[in-house]
Amino acid sequence: MKKISLIAATALLVSSTIVWAHGGAEGVVKERMDLMSDIGKDMKKIAAMVKGESEFDAKTIGASAKKIAEHAGEITELFPKGTTHKPSEALPAIWDQWERFSSLAKDLETEASSLSKVTEGGDKRAIMMQFAKTGKVCSTCHTDFRLKKD
Amino acid sequence: MKNHKYFLSIFSVGILTSVFAQANADTQTSVKRGEYIMNIGGCASCHTDTKNKGTPLAGGVALKTPFGTFYTPNITSDKKYGIGNWSEKDFIQAMTKGLAPDGSHYFPAFPYTSYAKMTRQDLRDLRAYLETVPAVSKPVPEHDVPFPFNIRESLILWKTLFFDETPFQPDPTKSATWNRGAYLVNGPSHCVECHSPRNFLGGLDQDNLLSGEPKSPEGEAIPSLLNSDGSNFSKWDHNETIFGLQMGMTPEGDFLGGSMGKVIANTTGKMTDEDLRAIAEYLGKTDSKNNASNLQKGNPKS
- Average pLDDT over chain B reads 91
Contact A139 B51 (CB under 8 A): no
pLDDT digits (tens, 9 = 90+) for A18-41: 444 577 788 999 999 999 999 999
Q: What percent of chain A has pLDDT over 90?
A: 72
pLDDT digits (tens, 9 = 90+) for B65-104: 989 999 999 999 999 999 999 999 999 999 999 999 999 9
A31 Ramachandran zone, left/alpha/beta (phi>0; psi -120 to 50) = alpha
Neighbouring C-beta atoms of residue B134, cutoff 10 Å: 12
Q: How far is B161 from chain A (nearest CA, A)?
A: 31
Probe site for chain B from A148, A149, A150 (most B CB atoms < 10 A): A148
Tell me the pTM.
0.84
pLDDT digits (tens, 9 = 90+) for B6-15: 888 888 787 8
Q: How far is B220 from chain A (nearest CA, A)?
A: 6
Contact A147 B219 (CB under 8 A): yes
Tell me the residues of B at the A interface, defined by beta carbons under 8 Å apart.
Answer: 51, 218-221, 239, 243, 247-249, 251-258, 261-262, 264-265, 289-290
State the average pLDDT over residues B262-271: 94
Contact A47 B248 (CB under 8 A): no
State the average pLDDT over residues B258-263: 92
Q: What is the model's pLDDT at position B23?
A: 78
Q: What are phi and psi of B204, to 5 degrees?
A: -70, 140
More confident residue, B174 or A16: B174
pLDDT per residue as tens, chain A (150 positions):
566 666 655 655 555 444 445 777 889 999 999 999 999 999 999 999 998 889 999 999 999 999 999 999 999 999 999 899 989 999 999 999 999 999 999 999 999 999 999 999 989 989 999 999 999 999 999 999 998 766
Contact residues, chain A, for B218 at CB < 8 Å = 147
Contact residues, chain B, for A40 at CB < 8 Å = 252-254
Angle subtended at Cα B88 by Cα B82 and Cα B90, rounded to the nearest 5 degrees: 65
Q: What are phi and psi of B64, to 5 degrees?
A: -85, 130
* Nearest partner of A115 among A53, A67, A56, judged by Cα: A67
Q: What is the model's pLDDT at position B296?
A: 42
